[in-house]
Chain A
Amino acid sequence: MTAPLDVSGASAQVPPEATLAGAGRAVQGRSLTRIAWMRLRRDKVALSGGIVVIFLILVAIFATPIISLFGHDPLEFHQEAIDPNTLLPLGDFGGMSAEYPLGVEPVNGRDIFSRIVAGAGISLLIGFLATMVSVLIGTVMGVIAGYFGGWVDQIIGRIMDVFLAFPLLVFAIALVGVMPNEGFGLEGNGLRIAMLIFIIGFFSWPSIGRIVRGQTLSLREREFVDAARSLGARNGYILFREILPNLMAPILVYATLLIPANILFEAALSFLGVGVNPPTPTWGGMLSEAVRFYTLPHFVIFPGLAIFITVLAFNLFGDGLRDAFDPRAH
Chain B
Amino acid sequence: GGGGGTQQQPAQSASGGAAQPVADAALTQVYNPSTKKGGTLKAAHSGDWDSLDPADTYYGYSFNFGRLYWRTLTMYKPGPGPEGNTVIPDLAESLGEPSSDGKSWTYKIKQGVKFEDGTPITSKDVAYAVARSFDKETFPHGPSYLNELLAWPEDFKGVYKTPDADYSSAVETPDDQTIVFKLKKPFASMDYVVQMPMTAPVPKDKDTGAKYREKVVSSGPYKFESNEIGKRFALVRNDQWDPATDPNRPALPDRIEVQLNVNADDLDNQLISGDIHLDIPGTGLQPAALGKVLPDPALKARTDNPVIPRLWFVSVIPEAPPLDNVECRKAVLWAADRVANQTAYGGPVAGGDIATNVMPPPVVGQEKFDLYQTPENKGDVEKAKQALAACGHPDGFETTMTYRAERPREKALAEAMQQALAKVNIKLTLKGFPASSYFSDYAGNVEYQKKNKIGLAGHGWGSDWPDGYGFMQAIVDSRTIRDAGNYNLSVKSDKVDSLIDQASGELDATARGKLWVDVDKAVMEDASILPVVWAKALLLRGEGVTNVAYNEGQSMYDYILLGVE
Query: Is there an interface contact between B340 and A181, defined as CB atoms closer than 8 Å?
Result: no
Q: Closest B-chain residue to A82, C-beta based? A: B343
Residue B2 is within 8 A (CB to CB) of chain A in the complex: no
* Residues of chain B within 8 A of A277, CB atoms compared: 429-432
* Residues of chain A within 8 A of B415, CB atoms compared: 75, 77, 108, 278-279
Question: Which of A82, A87, A277 has the largest number of chain B CB atoms within 10 A?
Answer: A87
Query: Is there an interface contact between A181 and B452, defined as CB atoms closer than 8 Å?
Result: yes
Measured CA separation A212–B29 after assembly (Å): 74
Residue A302 is within 8 A (CB to CB) of chain B in the complex: no
From known contacts A181-B431, A277-B430, infer whether A77 and B416 are also in contact, taking CB-CB under 8 Å: yes
Q: Closest A-chain residue to B295, C-beta based? A: A86
Q: Closest A-chain residue to B538, C-beta based? A: A85
Q: Quote the shortest CB–CB distance from B403 to chain A (angstroms).
A: 9
Query: Is there an interface contact between B287 and A273, defined as CB atoms closer than 8 Å?
Result: no
Q: Closest B-chain residue to A85, C-beta based? A: B349
* Residues of chain A within 8 A of B405, CB atoms compared: 177, 273-274
Measured CA separation A279–B288 after assembly (Å): 21
Measured CA separation A178–B416 after assembly (Å): 24
Q: Quote the shortest CB–CB distance from B210 to chain A (angstroms).
A: 27
Q: Quote the shortest CB–CB distance from A261 to chain B (angstroms).
A: 25
Give B425-473 interface residues, CB cut-off 8 Å to A: 429-434, 437, 441, 452
Measured CA separation A188–B430 after assembly (Å): 8
Give B390-446 interface residues, CB cut-off 8 Å to A: 400, 405-406, 408, 411-412, 414-416, 418-419, 429-434, 437, 441
Query: Is there an interface contact between A108 and B412, defined as CB atoms closer than 8 Å?
Result: yes
Query: Is there an interface contact between B348 and A85, defined as CB atoms closer than 8 Å?
Result: yes
Residue A79 is within 8 A (CB to CB) of chain B in the complex: yes
* Residues of chain B within 8 A of A289, CB atoms compared: 408
Prevailing SS type, chain A contact patch: loop
Residue B286 is within 8 A (CB to CB) of chain A in the complex: yes
Query: Is there an interface contact between A188 and B288, defined as CB atoms closer than 8 Å?
Result: no
Query: Is there an interface contact between A107 and B291, defined as CB atoms closer than 8 Å?
Result: no
* Residues of chain B within 8 A of A296, CB atoms compared: 291
Prevailing SS type, chain B contact patch: helix
Query: Is there an interface contact between A188 and B429, defined as CB atoms closer than 8 Å?
Result: yes
* Residues of chain A within 8 A of B290, CB atoms compared: 86-87
Please, what's the 1-or-0 string for A215-234, where 1 marks a CB less than 8 Å from any CB in chain B?
00000000000000000000
Query: Is there an interface contact between B291 and A278, defined as CB atoms closer than 8 Å?
Result: no
Query: Is there an interface contact between B294 and A86, defined as CB atoms closer than 8 Å?
Result: yes
Known A-B contacts: A77-B419, A177-B433. Give 15 more (CB < 8 A).
A77-B415, A77-B416, A86-B291, A86-B349, A87-B350, A106-B287, A106-B291, A107-B343, A107-B412, A178-B441, A277-B430, A277-B431, A291-B265, A292-B288, A296-B291
From known contacts A77-B340, A278-B432, infer whether A87 and B419 are also in contact, taking CB-CB under 8 Å: no
Measured CA separation A188–B400 after assembly (Å): 9
From known contacts A79-B340, A107-B343, A178-B434, infer whether A293 and B416 are also in contact, taking CB-CB under 8 Å: no
Query: Is there an interface contact between A79 and B429, defined as CB atoms closer than 8 Å?
Result: no
List A residues at the B interface (Cβ < 8 Å): 75-77, 79, 82, 84-88, 106-108, 177-178, 181-182, 187-189, 273-274, 277-279, 289, 291-296
Query: Is there an interface contact between B340 and A84, defined as CB atoms closer than 8 Å?
Result: no
Q: Quote the shortest CB–CB distance from A279 to chain B (angstroms).
A: 4
Residue B193 is within 8 A (CB to CB) of chain A in the complex: no
* Residues of chain B within 8 A of A293, CB atoms compared: 287-288, 291
Query: Is there an interface contact between A108 and B416, defined as CB atoms closer than 8 Å?
Result: yes
Give B262-291 interface residues, CB cut-off 8 Å to A: 265, 286-288, 290-291
Please name the 6 residue pairs, one residue from A and one from B, whose CB atoms are nearest each other, closest first: A279-B415, A188-B429, A86-B294, A292-B287, A87-B347, A88-B291
Query: Is there an interface contact between B406 and A273, defined as CB atoms closer than 8 Å?
Result: yes
Measured CA separation A75–B432 after assembly (Å): 17
Measured CA separation A230–B441 after assembly (Å): 61
25 pairs from A and B in contact (CB 8 Å cutoff):
A79-B339, A79-B343, A82-B343, A85-B349, A86-B290, A86-B291, A86-B294, A87-B343, A87-B347, A107-B412, A108-B343, A177-B434, A188-B429, A188-B431, A277-B429, A277-B431, A278-B411, A278-B430, A278-B432, A279-B430, A289-B408, A291-B265, A292-B287, A292-B288, A295-B288
Residue B292 is within 8 A (CB to CB) of chain A in the complex: yes
Q: Closest A-chain residue to B398, C-beta based? A: A188
Query: Is there an interface contact between A108 and B340, defined as CB atoms closer than 8 Å?
Result: yes
From known contacts A108-B412, A279-B415, A292-B408, infer whether A84 and B291 are also in contact, taking CB-CB under 8 Å: no
Q: Quote the shortest CB–CB distance from B271 to chain A (angstroms).
A: 16
From known contacts A77-B340, A86-B295, infer whether A279 and B418 are also in contact, taking CB-CB under 8 Å: yes
* Residues of chain B within 8 A of A108, CB atoms compared: 340, 343-344, 412, 415-416
Measured CA separation A146–B287 after assembly (Å): 54
Q: Quote the shortest CB–CB distance from A246 to chain B (angstroms).
A: 46
Measured CA separation A84–B437 after assembly (Å): 33
Measured CA separation A278–B418 after assembly (Å): 10
Q: Closest A-chain residue to B409, C-beta based? A: A107
Measured CA separation A177–B411 after assembly (Å): 15
